[in-house]
Amino acid sequence: MTRLHVAIPTSIDETLGLLEKWGHDAAVIAGGTDLVVELKDKLKSPKALIDIGRVPEVRGIREAEGNHVWIGAMSTHAEIASSTVVKEIAPILAKACAQVGSPQIRNRGTIGGNMSTASPAGDTIPALYVLEASVEIIGPRGKRTVPIESFFQGPKKSALAPDEIVLGVKFQKLGKEYVSFFRKLGQRKSLAISIVSVAFVGKCQKPGLFTDVRVALGSVAPTVVRARTVENAIREKQLDPKTAEYISKLAFRDCVPITDVRGSKGYREQMACNLLYEGLLSLLSCCEAC
């Protein structure tokens, strides 16, 4: 049996020292909802496991300088979904976190782990894309901040070096004039990996008219993608059901999906369009309150 060294640091400095000591032989564990499965299936075989659950610098949800919100990497999906601050300022992230896995997974899984895993099917990632979040990273060379779109570099690939960890994620508060939606398609209502997901944020000028439009698609490319074609088509255009249907059909232009056991390339393209249309209709029906 291979011996596994387990360390439980209580500070960032101690964590970084352990990462420097073990290098590529170390694996950082937060909630463990992905890593434990990978260890069980022998997809990873580290010599050292570094549990950051007791590191205070990666915990908390708070308002930050410059009209921003900061969420620590160890914040669980359940904590974010129930956070009064997040629900008021960025409800789309609260909704995305509420759809992750099962109650057990939401109580253990963390936003930092979801980002570090770098899966294009991660439920929180499209929401972070449309919030135009920044990822705070720390390592032996110091702290750095990476825009969310630059953090993800491919399936299971991120901008993290082996001796770095995610400290947290930061994004600007959304005003009350912003509306949003998150739609996810899975093989069942819960405990399902996303086949396609769509996140939308827009500033409602009047019913059916949006500016500062941001749309992100998940599970349709090697990373989550911003749907720039759709954003440009929606921006400052008066929407009605017919126009929304036409614009939704443009979503496939921002998709480069694969065919796998969860869905074919064509199915994903069609469902991206359908989920976007469904979300836009929901906005048209409720934006009288804008």
CA 142 vs CA 19, 21, 23, 112, 190: distances in Å:
14, 17, 16, 18, 39
9-49: per-residue pLDDT in tens? 999 999 999 999 998 899 999 988 888 888 888 888 899 99
* Tokens (6 digits) for 239: 């929407």
CATH 3.30.465.10-classified regions of the chain: 57-172
Work out the average pLDDT over 263-268: 90
Q: Is pLDDT at 186 greater than 80 in this prediction?
A: no
94-144: per-residue pLDDT in tens? 999 999 988 898 999 999 999 998 888 888 999 999 999 999 999 999 999
CATH 3.30.390.50-classified regions of the chain: 178-289
CATH code for residues 178-289: 3.30.390.50
- Per the CB < 8 A criterion, the answer to whether 287 and 208 are in contact is yes
CATH 3.30.43.10-classified regions of the chain: 5-51
Would you say domain 57-172 falls under CATH 3.30.465.10? yes
The pLDDT, as a whole number, for residue 191 is 58
The CATH class of the 5-51 domain is alpha beta
The pLDDT, as a whole number, for residue 66 is 85
Instruction: Output the DSSP codes for 77-108.
Output: HHHHHH-HHHHHH-HHHHHHHHTSS-HHHHHH
Q: Where are the alpha helices (DSSP H) in the chain?
A: 12-22, 35-40, 77-82, 84-89, 91-98, 103-108, 111-117, 124-130, 148-151, 228-234, 241-248, 265-286
- Per the CB < 8 A criterion, the answer to whether 244 and 228 are in contact is no
